[in-house]
A and B are shown apart, each in its own frame.
Chain A
């Protein structure tokens, strides 16, 4: 068998067993080489395109699917350049093998962005090889040929041949050094709406999710963890639990050993948990209640960790059982002190002193739980010499090493198969539950599925941090914004992005940051940090525009015009023109200035994850209750691969954003989360969602960027601004529902 390899574009062609073309290619994406922790130097072939002799095409998509629709969108990119007939294409989830799949994680809305060029090159290369094979057969030059919907055509001689017929011959064609990609106006699939390839399986209840995994002889495991942050296991009495029907064993599990140097995603709230293993979930749930555990406060300690980029550091974990009231006091005190200056342009203090008007406002938001509808779970089957795992996971390549060290099984003997994710939003990057499942299976010498109850899921940490920001704006006597100051911080992480708008648009600008440590664990949450700072910054700008007597869109556009024409400072992290573009489009599409008088309207725009989004949100008030009527959204995420799927994602982010800002809250008393299920943690419901959402995309030919996260932060600002219009009161503290109720609206 002949194998052709092209090192420059990382492509490899070979003959499929049974005939046909197999093109292996690479979707470069990972920022790290997972084994060394250093910057990647090698690129692994991690995605496949198969063209079978019967004309069927299989595209193996390397990214886990959790609702971002990458399993449909990424193959569309390949199929477009290939000029395949979409109905001939089937898509498979890559069998998990982190040795060969480099970007097998969801997060940061980057999947499409990073894969774009390589997916296109793969499709275009296969197309070229099919044409070259046809040219050989017909003995005509390749440049006389064209393709259409799975066929190669030679118009001059009126001949055509299907891809299937050419596939085996194409496997012998040398991979071209350079490949011509389509121009945007030549796309036939990209930019058209294609349905979710797993749709039918979802609506018929097929076992797609980790929690659905089953195996012969499989046991069910659940955990009992400390009821409060700041506590650790002292002892437990499992005598009663062991006697209960179906129970196989009860034992403590040390999740991550103390001397283990943790990687970026190795956050783990509870060092030691109690595992309860039995034959069925219900029996295990009952036995959990029968365990009498004693807990004790832990001492302050530190653990060794590695950052996302591989730098080592020590993380201090303070002792104590924290209260939300303490957090609030800490926030008040930190916010009143000087923070660390991250950026300073001009002379902010002088400018504030000389300002005609100074506006200062503070904003806050509580901890949030991810609440994926599928609770954390994982299947593990660990034997003496290997470990097989299966389940929903966002960052397998980071978890693998942890597991190898913990189980004392070499990396190459660890196999993680990924299932569909019942929601991730960042939570499934922190896979301590995977380690727990594996350790339990190793001890039981049996296949085990670990399931978190909803309560365990909600109370085991890795939350969106609690955030705070104080803004100050200085206007001159002509109502020009001459000074801007943001001081933002959080427990235990700051939400500040110092180089984002309006940095670059104001002569005198100051950004300060602070953070205060906590033993409450945190992790990425849909649009990390932006999910707070984006919304509140947009609320503040609304108030400043009002104080300046300016239309809120016009006010932002003036600033963006300045940032484009004569930017202040360096490293401004946005493109003023594209930013202005979404605002101008939303002004047009929402009939700004000509709104329905029964509605109260708020606007916001933000840039994150390489995309620009603006919203105009209209709400009405019925019986004193606000109801979001409609949201008009404009998005600049470059070329839109699958418009209907992108629209669905935007709708979801808008609904979720409104829900989190309006209702989301996790509070603590003596280290114990006060919300542990959906009776106490309020989630947005169907009647509270907007009645209508219109999403419009800016048309351009910029390479595609993120879509799952960018609409999320600004909708919180648009909501607050519209609520102000309806109540006459500005809202500063999330969840807004509490503030609205306190204000008696």
Chain B
């Protein structure tokens, strides 16, 4: 056990956990930020995607010890009023079905647009390849990313 100070969504939070604990579980269990989802635990599905200093990372693979002193953003902190262009595009195109994978999809899409404001189809496919959606909403995800890019 060790104490870590984390900067999450602009707020400092302290947790006392084993240093090997992935940020995913620190968020979900210790900080009750459950928007970030568990899907596979082995970096294969993208449900747990968060931003670390603005880059999309798989929180299931990121030990808390490596995350301290970095800026962490989760779906809850992506925008103040849920109006990030990606979130808006998602709503306008009514992307979600069950919705479980969507926080990870949105976080990954937002990071993509941050570094590539007008991605091509291929850019989107390669950036979003790690995010599984069993409900099969991929076509709308692609459309929504393009819409957000043009917003």
Contacts and interface: CB of A to CB of B under 8 A. Distances in A.
A632 to B, nearest CB: 14
A202 B102 contact: yes
A87 interface: no
B41 interface: yes
A683 B132 contact: yes
B96 A690 contact: no
Interface in A681-707: 683-687, 689-693
A203 B82 contact: yes
Interface in B118-144: 121, 124-126, 128-129, 131-142
B132 A693 contact: no
A474 interface: no
Contacts of B25: 280-282
A205 B75 contact: yes
> Which one of B101, B103, B126, B134 has the highest number of Cβ atoms from chain A below 10 Å of its Cβ?
B134
A425 B17 CA distance: 36
Given A423-B135, A648-B137, A652-B137, A211 B97 contact: no
B44 A373 contact: no
Contact of B125 (A203, A206, A651, A687): A687
Contacts of B76: 204-205
A644 interface: yes
Given A203-B87, A203-B96, A421-B98, A683 B29 contact: no
B13 interface: no
B117 interface: no
Contacts of B65: none
A200 B39 contact: no
Nearest to B76: A205
A199 interface: yes
B87 A656 contact: no
B146 interface: no
Nearest to A683: B132
A691 B76 CA distance: 31
A66 B139 contact: no
A704 to B, nearest CB: 18
Contact of A652 (B39, B45, B90, B135): B135
A477 to B, nearest CB: 45
Given A374-B100, A655-B138, A678 B40 contact: yes
Contacts of A689: 136, 138-139
B95 to A, nearest CB: 8
Contacts of A220: 29
Interface string A646-662: 00110111111001000
Contact of A373 (B18, B47, B87, B94): B47
Nearest to A454: B40
A371 interface: yes
B89 to A, nearest CB: 9
A408 interface: no
A66 B142 CA distance: 22
Interface residues of A, number: 66
A397 to B, nearest CB: 21
A204 B134 contact: no
B94 A195 contact: yes
B151 interface: no
Contacts of A203: 75, 82, 87, 90-91, 96, 102-103, 106
Contacts of A280: 17, 21, 25, 29-30
A372 B44 CA distance: 14
A401 interface: no
A652 B94 CA distance: 13
A245 interface: yes
A283 interface: yes
A204 B128 contact: no
Contacts of B75: 203-205
Contact of B134 (A283, A373, A454): A373
Contacts of B22: 282
A392 to B, nearest CB: 9
Contacts of A67: 96-99, 135
B139 A651 contact: yes
Contacts of A410: none
A451 B39 CA distance: 11
A423 B100 CA distance: 8
A737 interface: no
B71 to A, nearest CB: 18
B113 to A, nearest CB: 15
A453 interface: yes
B136 A373 contact: no
Interface in A367-389: 371-375
A714 B71 CA distance: 48
A265 interface: no
A693 B143 CA distance: 12
A301 B58 CA distance: 45
Given A373-B134, A686-B131, A205 B100 contact: no
Given A648-B94, A649-B97, A371 B134 contact: yes
A677 to B, nearest CB: 6
Contacts of A199: 90-91, 94, 96
B82 A282 contact: no
B94 A656 contact: no
A645 B128 CA distance: 23
Interface string A406-422: 00000000000000111
19 contacts: A67-B96, A67-B97, A195-B91, A196-B94, A202-B99, A202-B102, A204-B35, A205-B35, A211-B38, A285-B41, A374-B37, A420-B99, A422-B99, A648-B140, A652-B135, A652-B137, A656-B135, A659-B136, A678-B40
Identify the 5 closest CB pairs spanning chains A and B, nearest first.
Answer: A205-B35, A655-B136, A422-B100, A205-B75, A67-B97
Given A67-B96, A374-B39, A420-B99, 5 more contacts: A203-B91, A205-B33, A205-B34, A206-B35, A453-B41
Interface of B: 1, 17-18, 20-22, 25, 28-30, 32-42, 44-45, 47, 74-76, 78, 82, 87, 90-91, 94, 96-103, 106, 121, 124-126, 128-129, 131-142
